Amino acid sequence: MFKDATTDEIDSALRKAWQAFHLYRKFSLKQRADFMKAIAVELDNTGDSLISTAMRETNLPEARLRGERARTIFQLNSYAEACVKGDWLEARIDTAIETKIPPKPDIRKMLVPLGPVVVFGASNFPLAYSTAGGDTACAFAAGCPVIVKAHPAHPDTSEQVAHAIKNAVQKCNMPDGVFQHIQGNSFEVGKALVMHPFTKAVGFTGSYTGGKQLYDWAQQRKEPIPVFAEMGSVNPVFLLPEKLSNEADTIAKLYAQSITVGVGQFCTNPGLLIGVDSESLDQFIIRLGKAIELIAPTPMLHQGIAKSFNEKRATALSQQGVKLIASSDSPANENEGLPTIAATDAEHFLNNPRLHQEVFGPYSLVVRCKDLQQMNEVAAKLEGQLTATLMATDDEVINNHALVEKIKNCCGRLILNGIPTGVEVCLSMQHGGPFPATTDSRFTSVGADGIKRFARPLAFQNWPNQLLPDELRNDNPLGIWRTVNNEFTKNKINNGDSK
């Protein structure tokens, strides 16, 4: 058992982070990247011990946790590479034009770090979105110190990962305060971290209630700060008639899998399947139900999540017009999530906002629309989503333009003929979306673009070449891509150009 950090401890952590910020932000991109790679090595060194601790604390199976650690290591290494590559810096140079009236000065801009970032570990990704996860890696790449608030559901796992990071801090001669680890189960710890004047940004992955609370605190500060809270979503799947009639069976099997993978505990879990009344929709529902019946319940992350799943599932099933279609044939033990499919019609769905809410776990609701027109109405009424999926033939995409546009407008990632679970770590990934999926749809928490959450542009006007940061010097010593006089280039700037 870990004790909650006291207010004094939190204050002292932030002071230390603030001091470290003044050192760490001056470290070169290469030094930051080497540090991140060293964390990856140390994380790999945690061996079986970390896996067994995480298994005990999260009920997740060994293979998943080994995979998640590998993913975390991949994130650290790939964001380290992105850090050095420097595209994220958005280096822009406009050289002086002395003949202009008045003369145009030399101006050069690049992103610089915001300051200490507080990261709240996620319960459902004890490694990849927690202590050394995506937010931490992005903040380090940006040049920001990090204070991690361990998730109370896996404090030991978090402690072991923190230890690995601290090893890397020492080996790379980083300032002590560049990484700190705080335990806390109470409301007050989170609040004190967000409200501290030296906290300059917050990263969070978790529930709407938690994320929105952090966001509201951050806005109530004397100096509001950016909070990127990824708060999950229902990830609607639109089943278009022709596609469904062609492949009802395949789609049913695919989705039975996607709905229950990881006991449904993914932010991108498909919680809503929207179809048009037809024989093939009936067939699909029957087949999906049969597939779900065959999937045995497995333990959820922790008691709190299982309790919440059961309550939300019961509430959802008790809503007017909602019918239970199928649940797993095997009974669920305590702490297990019972795979469940329910159905309702679009009219009930449109009139009951409760049915739009996430039931975090292996639950999905089929919404029956009378026709495509009603499917359009459903799409127009959906809240912001991390993902939306369209199961459709090419012709159906083309012929349902208005529907497709509505779906685009509600989500951060639009999948065609696939499943939303499984989030690739790559530059083109968007893991974000309109509120309430996240608190700022303009950013992502997966992929190297996530670095930009924690950085801001700083322009240098009229600085002589020798006093500029390397990123902006004429000879481009770092060899990065820059926009020079409106053109992307890696070229050096000749003296002539900069006059």
**Among residue numbers 387 through 446, which ones bind its own copies (CB under 8 A)?**
394, 397-398, 402, 405, 408-409, 411-418, 422, 424, 426-430, 432, 434-436, 439-442, 444
Q: How far is the CB of 471 from its own copies (least distance, A)?
A: 12
Is 471 an annotated catalytic residue? no
Coil vs helix vs strand at 302: coil
Catalytic residue among 42, 57, 68, 230: 230
Q: How far is the CB of 109 from its own copies (least distance, A)?
A: 4
Q: Is residue 98 near its own copies by the rule CB under 8 A? A: no
Is 172 an annotated catalytic residue? no
Q: Contacting its own copies (CB under 8 A), which of 2, 9, 28, 105?
A: 105
Q: How far is the CB of 93 from its own copies (least distance, A)?
A: 6
Q: How far is the CB of 156 from its own copies (least distance, A)?
A: 30
Gap between the Cα atoms of 123 and 57, Å rounded: 10
Gap between the Cα atoms of 317 and 338, Å rounded: 13
Q: Which stretch binds its own copies (CB under 8 A): 130-138, 152-160, 218-226, 240-248?
A: 218-226
Amino acid at 247: E
Q: HSE of 407 in the Cβ direction (CA atoms, 13 Å)?
A: 24
Compute the chain's Rg from CA coordinates: 25
**Of all helices (H) and strands (E), which one includes residue 249?**
helix 241-260
Gap between the Cα atoms of 133 and 126, Å rounded: 9
DSSP 205: E
Gap between the Cα atoms of 420 and 236, Å rounded: 9
Nearer to its own copies, 3 or 100 (CB): 100
Length of the chain: 499
Q: Mask: binding to its own copies, 346-385, rule CB under 8 A, as x and -?
A: --------------------------------------x-
Q: Mask: binding to its own copies, 11-30, rule CB under 8 A, as x and -?
A: -----------x--xx----
Q: Which stretch binds its own copies (CB under 8 A): 45-53, 128-136, 146-154, 215-223?
A: 215-223
- Report the candidate in 43, 82, 46 with the shortest Cα–Cα distance to residue 425: 82
- Any idea which residue has 């990261």 for tokens? 119
Q: Contacting its own copies (CB under 8 A), which of 125, 215, 217, 349?
A: 215
Q: How far is the CB of 424 from its own copies (least distance, A)?
A: 6
Amino acid at 39: I
How many C-beta neighbours within 10 Å does residue 47 have? 9
Catalytic residue among 83, 267, 369, 410: 267
- Identify each DSSP E strand in 146-198 by its residue range: 146-149, 179-182
Nearer to its own copies, 5 or 141 (CB): 141
Are 343 and 318 in contact by the 8 Å Cβ rule? The answer is no
Q: Please identify every residue annotated as catalytic.
A: 230, 267
